[in-house]
Amino acid sequence: MRDPEKKPEGLMNKRSSPFEIFFMEHYRPLVYFARKFIKDTEAAEDVVQDTFIKFLGREADFDKEIAARSFLYIAVRNASLNYLRQQQNHKRILAANEVKEAQDSFVLQAIIQSEALSEVHKAINELPEGCRKVFRLGYLDGLSNLEIANHLSISINTVKTQKARALQLLRLKISPEFFALLSLLVMGYSSN
């Protein structure tokens, strides 16, 4: 991981490799963070993309990466709350007001959880293709073993084997804390 105290070099050149790296490192955690406010993934992605566009005009204002990250999290939070207001959904507006008034510890917890989820998804993306497909369909999309077998044209035993192999590989790739988070993530997706 890069040093958050260093100056975000290369951010001035919007086509430079450092900017692309900065974007790739922070995009997914910011989407997870926006999802804490906005329950719609596409809308959360739009909010984060719009925030990065606004950031492009202001990156010179930040002399350290940590300052740029802080700006992005605050801007995403504010943009998320603005999105909810624009939807004129009374229930969501009340929830957004509660979130806005929440203690700093909630925001910090959400940031940490978002970053951890990003690491878990990174580990999932590093699985072999077969394991990754079965894992995503079974645990993230909530398909049954039979549905996965039909969807991928493989046997149910292969599905079971790939699921077990994926969990075993993930257990080796990520720390016990992140594996516990993965377990919670899997339980959350499978209950939806």
Instruction: Answer for the pair 47, 53: CB distance below 8 angstroms, yes or no.
Output: no
Tell me how far apart the alpha carbons of residues 176 and 159 are, in angstroms, rounded to a whole number.
25
Q: Is 153 helix (H, G, I), strand (E, B) or coil?
A: coil
| Residue type for position 41 | T
Instruction: Answer for the pair 178, 120: CB distance below 8 angstroms, yes or no.
Output: yes
pTM of the model: 0.46
pLDDT digits (tens, 9 = 90+) for 4-62: 444 455 444 455 556 777 788 889 999 999 999 998 999 999 999 999 888 877 766 77
* CATH 1.25.40 applies to domain 1-107: no
Residue 12 Cα distances to 59, 60, 69, 95, angstroms:
7, 6, 15, 37
Domain definitions of the chain by residue range = 1-107, 126-192
Dihedral sign computed on CA atoms, order 114, 118, 124, 125: positive
Domain 126-192 sits in CATH at: 1.10.10
Tell me how far apart the alpha carbons of residues 134 and 137 are, in angstroms, rounded to a whole number.
5
Closest residue by Cα to residue 4 from 71, 53, 52:
71
pLDDT digits (tens, 9 = 90+) for 58-108: 766 777 778 888 888 999 999 999 888 787 656 655 665 666 666 566 777
- Confidence at residue 7, expressed as pLDDT on a 0 to 100 scale: 46
